Amino acid sequence: MVMPDGNWLAHTSRPLEIAKLLRQFGHDIVFAGEGKYMELPRKNGFRIFALRTSDPEHIIAISRSGRVNYYNYDQIKYFVEEELKLFEKIKPDLVLADFRLSVNIACELASIPLAVILNASWTNYYTVRFKPPEHSKITQILGNQITTWFAPWLLNFILTFDIRSINKFRRFKGLRSLKNYWDISMGDLNLLVDIPEYGPTDDLPSNFRYIGPIFWEPELQAPDWLEKLDPERPTLYFTMGSTGNPSFFEQAIEIYGNSEYQCVMTTAGMVKLTSVPENFFVVDYAPGSKIMEKSDIVICHGGNGTIYQAMSKGVPIIGIPTMHDQEFNLDRVVDLGIGIHLSELKFKPSHLVAAVEKILSEKSYKENAQRYKNILDGYNGPSKGAQLIDAYLKNN
């Protein structure tokens, strides 16, 4: 049984790509969940059982506040009880989850093996020191310099404090308390959709395995105009995923309209642009990998999938994040020398102009991006994930 949070493209598409391969291996796969992206497994012929998930607006609000208290006691109780009812009906041999955090408890109570898809930064083994996110209220009140000084303590406090409701429910069910919020993301088999160079860890247990990123894009033909782009003119690709700030699309037109740049946009239906300059090429959806192959820079929200897709094509990145995990992603982009992290809260058009000019004028960004492209060429996330799950089922 595959249980994603269907409100988010990445958390639905990643297990979907693994499920498609597991089906080829002969496994019977069913999905459970809700949300607009549950159409993806439905279109791929999977059976879907309705199962309520968290309100996406609530999740975004919590994420943008810098907290992780996604569930109160009543919510975690409701979700776990509904999951247990479904387990009794379907009797799965294994659950594969992606950002359905309550299922950790349900699987433990039902003695069902749990495999989870997650990033290295959502584990207690991640070795990169987090910088204070600007979207955190604490950072906004105390300032970046002071918050940086006690950032590790602050992160540990939030992760420990925000697990209280979940631990209260676990104790009610006779389960041991968890150390912090990262532990609720863990399963019996943990598939890290990272490469160690981007998401480094230390003392990683044997049930944690790097499989590499998992990419998804719509099964659409590339737009006709893509092959007609002038290779002698710099091309900028703007994409904001499903959680970026849609206002940046209109700002990009104001900044680069009728300029020497060729500007490509995939809006995911977030905005309807009424006036588009001749040097802009705008569609709701298109195969991002094909566009990135023609692009000199990807300008995005800092979503993990978009960053890895750009890295896989050797394209430098400019990121304008709207929540803390995207900020952490873009801090890594800066650390690896493959792009620039811009502030959303302090954003000015001149910041984007300067960042674009810097990346185009300094060869190191392109060279570093190409280095990580070569590393990613050795990974196939869906295949490795499916193989590990298949082996787990055969050996346990």
Predicted pLDDT of residue 134: 72
Residue 277 has pLDDT above 70, yes or no: yes
User: Does a structural domain hold residue 219?
Assistant: no
Q: Which amino acid is located at 62 in the chain?
A: I
Predicted pLDDT of residue 129: 85
Q: What is the pLDDT of residues 225-234, one digit of tens each?
A: 999 999 999 9
For 303, counting Cβ atoms within 10 Å of its Cβ (0-12 exposed, 13-18 middle, 19+ buried), the class is buried
Mean pLDDT, residues 212-222: 90
- The whole-chain average pLDDT of the chain stands at 93
For the chain, how many structural domains are there in total?
Answer: 2
Could you tell me the pLDDT band of residue 144, with boundaries at 50, 70 and 90?
A: low
User: Does a structural domain hold residue 218?
Assistant: no
In CATH, what number is assigned to the domain containing residue 115?
3.40.50.2000
Residue 74 has pLDDT above 80, yes or no: yes
Q: pTM here?
A: 0.91
Residue 228 and residue 360 in one domain: yes
User: Does a structural domain hold residue 190?
Assistant: yes
User: Does a structural domain hold residue 302?
Assistant: yes
Q: What is the pLDDT of residues 149-185, one digit of tens each?
A: 677 777 888 899 999 999 999 999 999 999 999 999 9
Could you tell me the pLDDT band of residue 240, with boundaries at 50, 70 and 90?
A: confident
**Share of residues in the chain with pLDDT > 90 (%):** 79
Residue 254 has pLDDT above 90, yes or no: yes
Predicted pLDDT of residue 148: 63
Query: What domain range is 118 assigned to?
Result: 2-213+379-395
Predicted pLDDT of residue 135: 63
Mean pLDDT, residues 23-27: 98
Could you tell me the pLDDT band of residue 274, with boundaries at 50, 70 and 90?
A: confident
Residue 48 has pLDDT above 70, yes or no: yes
Residue 360 and residue 390 in one domain: no
Q: How many angstroms separate the CA atoms of 108 and 313, rounded?
A: 40
Residue 139 and residue 232 in one domain: no
Residue 63 and residue 194 in one domain: yes
Residue 295 and residue 338 in one domain: yes
Residue 182 and residue 237 in one domain: no
Evaluate whether 32 touches 1 at the Cβ level (below 8 Å).
Answer: yes
User: Does a structural domain hold residue 123?
Assistant: yes
CA dihedral defined by 61, 67, 70, 72, rounded to 10 degrees? Answer: -110
Mean pLDDT, residues 72-95: 98
Predicted pLDDT of residue 365: 98
Residue 25 and residue 172 in one domain: yes
**Share of residues in the chain with pLDDT > 70 (%):** 95
User: Does a structural domain hold residue 122?
Assistant: yes
Residue 198 and residue 240 in one domain: no
Q: How many angstroms separate the CA atoms of 220 and 225, rounded?
A: 14
Residue 42 and residue 79 in one domain: yes
Q: How many angstroms separate the CA atoms of 251 and 234, rounded?
A: 19
Residue 109 and residue 21 in one domain: yes
User: Does a structural domain hold residue 321?
Assistant: yes
Predicted pLDDT of residue 143: 67
For 114, counting Cβ atoms within 10 Å of its Cβ (0-12 exposed, 13-18 middle, 19+ buried), the class is buried
Residue 173 and residue 140 in one domain: yes
Mean pLDDT, residues 313-333: 93
Predicted pLDDT of residue 155: 81
Mean pLDDT, residues 187-208: 98
Predicted pLDDT of residue 128: 93
User: Does a structural domain hold residue 6?
Assistant: yes
Residue 285 and residue 310 in one domain: yes
**What pairing do the DSSP bridges indicate for beta strands 114-118 and 297-300?**
unpaired
Higher pLDDT pick, 80 / 326 = 80
